[in-house]
Amino acid sequence: MSRCFIELQFRFIYCSGKLLEAVNIHKLELDWKTFVDRPMKKDPKMIQKQFEKQFGKQKVEDINPQELLAFRDLYFDEPGAELEQCTPTNWQNYPPKIMMIENKELREFALNLNERWKLLCRRVSFVKARSYPALSIKYAFMLCSSYTKLVLSRKSACVYVCPGAFCPQLSTPPLQKLGG
C-alpha cells in the first residue's frame, strides 16, 4: 500500500504536486518508484513550503536539475533509511518440517532458503522514525519488491522468493504470523 493511502499529509509530496512532477520530469531517480520510497528528513509541510520558496515561480521544466537534486538530498533520505534488519520472531535454524525432508540435497536447499528470511525481514527503526514522519508499522515485515527478489537456482529450476505474500497453503498470511 502506498504512503498516499496511509498518510494523507504526505499526498502533496508523494502522490501529486509540483515536487513529484519535477523529480519525474528531470529523472532524478533511475526508477520512478525510488523517490516515493525516500523517507522525509523534515515535516512535509515545511518541505512543501521550502520547495515553493525555492522553485515556486518557475515552470517545472525550467527548474535546474542540479538544484532540484540538492533539494532532494537535503530533505529526503535514502530509500529504506528508516528500516533496520531483523529476524522474524518465529524463525528457526532448523524448522521441523524442513528437517523431515529425506533428500539431503533438497533439505540443504530448503535450509538455505530458510536462512534468506533473515535477509528480508525489516522493522521501522523507532529512533530514526522519530526524526521525521514515518509510516507507523508496529511489527516486522518482509521486503518484497524488484529490489529484493531472490533468485535461487537449482539445476534448471528457479525459485522466486516473495515473503509476505499470501499463500493459500498457509492458514494465515505470513505477516500475521510475524506479529507474534
pLDDT in tens, 23-43: 999 999 888 788 888 888 888
Q: How far apart are CA 140 and CA 123, in angstroms?
A: 4
Residues ≥6 apart with Cβ < 8 Å to 44: 9, 10, 12, 13, 133
Q: How far apart are CA 162 and CA 84, in angstroms?
A: 19
Q: Is 155 exposed, middle or buried (0-12, 13-18, 19+ CB in 10 A)?
A: exposed
Q: Provide the pLDDT for residue 158.
A: 36
Q: Provide the pLDDT for residue 175.
A: 36
Report, as ranges of residue numbers, the positions in the chain whose pLDDT lies below 50.
1-6, 130-131, 133, 146-180
Residues ≥6 apart with Cβ < 8 Å to 55: 18, 22, 63, 67, 68, 71
First to last CA, the chain: 22
Q: Provide the pLDDT for residue 22.
A: 94
Q: Which helix (H) or strand (E) holds 107?
A: helix 104-120
Q: How far apart are CA 123 and CA 137, in angstroms?
A: 7
